[in-house]
Amino acid sequence: MTTLLKNVLICDGSMDRGRCGSVLVADGKIAALLPPESGEKADETVDGRGRMALIPGFVNAHSHAAMSLLRGIGEEAPLMEWLQTKIWPVEAKLRKEHVLWGTRLALLEMVSGGTTAFGDMYFEMDAVVEASLEAGVRCAPCRGIVGDERWKFDDGLRLAETWKEHGDFVSVQLGPHAPYTVPLPLMKEITAEAAARGLAVHVHFLETEWELGYLKDEFGMTPAEYLEASGILEAPGALLAHCVWLSPEDLAGLNLDALSIAHNPNSNLKLGSGVMDLPGLLGRTDRIALGTDGAASNNRLDLWGEMRSASVLHKGQRRDATVVSARQALRMATYGGAEALGFRKKGFIREGWAADLVLVDLDGPQYLGVSEENILPFLVYAGSSADVRCTMVAGRWIYRNGTYPGVDREKILAKAREMRDNLLG
Ligand SMILES: [Zn+2]
């Protein structure tokens, strides 16, 4: 199957400006970058008529997709109270079918906004993978490990074994939830096993100021000392979600080669956790991705919102309009996420890279004046998920003009409603 996406405005997070052109997709990959009026023959041709942008699919680096069933629960409570009194009691009732339908529900929302891959920490993760493969979306699942419960760790290792043959679509990570929920000896065992098996770890890190105090009081450690002592930096990949209370100085002298940070600006704002020092951390590492976190704390699963917030929030906080450019925001939302989740050759529009692509309608009034020169700021500051027309993963359309080929949207909505009623009733 070959597809020619013709006469589109191409841009990605490695480009300072867009470029009119065409893209030939074959065997799930970008086979060629061609001129706008290319006469290349393909099984299918989509003509953007110069009024469509073509961007890489978004990668939601940190989520808990099935929390889509818990949206609206415990609004306006601080993180620890929210978790302990609202979320954890309901999560204790979650069974595999809840996770399956909750993830299917989340995926409807994600792919309609152009998300083509996501990292997910939860439980009943086989259901998450099943829902993702059905939807045609790439997934980096990790079994959340909370407490001193070895069976959860074993379940995470089993998950990796089960799905290792699906490397290009499923990238399993190990998921010790956080330093304050996993005892340090178990954390060390998990990171050692991750290193031995070539797996990455995905950890919540310094989401709240309270956690900074916990590291000091419980372990007598600074964040850097904890990262070293826990073995997190020895894992072949480490994804730290949040890092709201991590300073750039904390990273000085550490080996950051395999470390990625998932910035979740809207979840952090809504839970009142604070603002990560993105401009400062970007001075130390470019391995920064964006995530939504769960729908119960964001409450959207929309990378456009994260991209815009990641850029404007820090300009405002620093009182400096030059920090976190539109290009940097787009790079974090695409390539940065793919890198964090271990997906290779994804996130930029380049020959030989995965055809994980999104067509964005530029016909709306908010795009008047858009050009090759200014397409990046137009997308990041004026664009939104409402502008997404089509989403493709590995050369296959998974969302097209409001429809989901091969997916029964109405059934998912009905069953997800049933699951939510069952949980909350
Ligand atoms: Zn989270």
Contact 36, 21 (CB under 8 A): yes
Distance 361 CA to ligand 1 centre (A): 31
Residues 133 and 253 in one domain: yes
Count of residues in the chain: 425
Range of the domain at 39: 2-57+352-400
Q: How far is the CA of 178 from the centre of ligand 1 (A)?
A: 10
Q: What residues contact residue 309 under an 8 Å CB cut-off, 6+ apart?
A: 265, 266, 269
The amino acid that residue 237 corresponds to is G
Q: How far is the CA of 297 from the centre of ligand 1 (A)?
A: 9
Residue 194 and residue 227 share a domain:
yes
CB atoms near residue 375 (< 10 Å): 26
- Which residue, among 58, 60, 80, has the nearest Cα to 68 in the 3D structure? 60
Cα(219) to centroid(ligand 1), Å: 23
Helix (H, G, I), strand (E, B) or coil at 241: strand
Q: If you measure from the C-alpha of residue 107 to the centroid of ligand 1, how many angstroms do you get, rounded to a whole number?
A: 17
Whether residue 196 is found in the same domain as residue 85:
yes
Tell me the CA–centroid distance for residue 2 and ligand 1, in Å: 38
Residue 218 CA to ligand 1 center (angstroms) comes to 22
Centre of ligand 1 to C-alpha 292, Å, is 8
pLDDT in tens, 362-378: 999 999 999 999 999 99
Task: Note whether 309 and 383 are same-domain residues.
Answer: no
Which pLDDT belongs to residue 346?
Answer: 98
The two most distant CA atoms of the chain are separated, in Å, by: 67
Collapsing DSSP to helix, strand or coil, 117 comes out as: strand
For residue 218, the one-letter residue type is E
Spacing, Cα 62 to ligand 1 middle (Å): 6
Note whether 60 and 290 are within 8 A (CB): yes
96 C-alpha to center of ligand 1: Å?
19
Measure 66 CA to ligand 1 centroid, in angstroms: 12
Q: 22 near 344, Cβ under 8 Å? A: no
**Closest CA relative to residue 122, chosen from 82, 73, 172, 84:** 172
pTM: 0.97
End-to-end CA distance of the chain: 47
Instruction: Give the CATH number for residue 162.
Output: 3.20.20.140
| Ligand 1 centroid – CA 268 distance (Å) | 10
pLDDT band of residue 83 (cuts 50, 70, 90) is confident
pLDDT for 77 equals 85
pLDDT at position 379, please?
98
- Report whether pLDDT(101) > 90: yes
209 and 306 both lie in a single domain: yes
Q: Which helix (H) or strand (E) holds 30?
A: strand 29-34
| 165 and 298 share one domain | yes
CA-atom Rg of the chain in angstroms: 21
